[in-house]
């Protein structure tokens, strides 16, 4: 059963990872985001599975990472926060104007999470770019919209995170995890 696995999704630079880190400090289990780790590794080894080099290959590596994370989280007890989920891969491909291969769509359908998905909306006040996050503000906002559409299409119920400080956001999510 995957009801204990909660996805946090949204656009880049919207505070997802900071929120998850705050909840992890409170003892909530968490699975890391695929994208940043893949970018770091690919840059380190001179690989081409990067969003600015080969987006389709980057998506395949994210899918493999997210499948592994799903399997690992499934075996855990208690709530587990997922820094993005398998449907994010389909959303990413859609955002890039690339086709969503049948195996990606099948993975998103078969490997489910809790029906409630936390969405970090684009938040202009905290958005920043860095060496791994090269998207501009418009692409960050578009990413949040595409993730909302992707998860909704798959039957998930989106819960918008408040535009509030990290601890307030953590309190908001923690209140919704109680009893899981």
In a domain, 41, yes or no: no
pLDDT in tens, 149-171: 999 999 999 999 998 989 999 99
Average pLDDT over residues 48-72: 96
Whole-structure pTM value = 0.90
Name the nearest CA neighbour of 49 among 97, 81, 89, 101.
Answer: 89
Spatial separation of the C-alpha atoms in residues 3 and 180, rounded to whole Å: 8
In a domain, 47, yes or no: no
Domain that holds residue 134: 5-33+66-177
In a domain, 152, yes or no: yes
What is the CATH number for 151? Answer: 3.40.50.300
- Which letter does DSSP use for residue 52 in this model? T
Quote the number of domains for the chain. Answer: 1
**Tell me, what's the pLDDT at 140?**
72
Name the nearest CA neighbour of 34 among 22, 46, 16, 19.
Answer: 16
């Amino acid at each position: 059963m995957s009801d204990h696995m909660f996805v946090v999704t949204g656009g880049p630079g919207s505070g997802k990872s900071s929120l998850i880190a705050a909840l992890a400090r409170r003892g909530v289990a968490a699975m890391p985001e695929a994208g940043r780790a893949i970018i770091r590794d690919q840059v380190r080894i001179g690989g081409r599975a990067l969003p600015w080099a080969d987006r389709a290959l980057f998506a395949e590596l994210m899918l493999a990472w997210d499948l592994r994370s799903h399997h690992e989280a499934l075996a855990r007890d208690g709530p587990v926060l997922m820094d993005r989920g398998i449907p994010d891969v389909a959303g990413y491909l859609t955002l890039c104007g690339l086709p969503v291969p049948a195996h990606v769509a099948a993975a998103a359908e078969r490997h489910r999470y809790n029906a409630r998905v936390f969405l970090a909306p684009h938040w202009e006040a905290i958005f920043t770019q860095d060496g791994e996050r090269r998207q501009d503000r418009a692409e960050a906002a578009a990413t949040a919209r595409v993730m909302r559409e992707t998860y909704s299409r798959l039957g998930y119920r989106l819960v918008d995170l408040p535009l509030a400080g990290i601890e307030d956001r953590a309190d908001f999510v923690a209140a919704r995890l109680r009893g899981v």
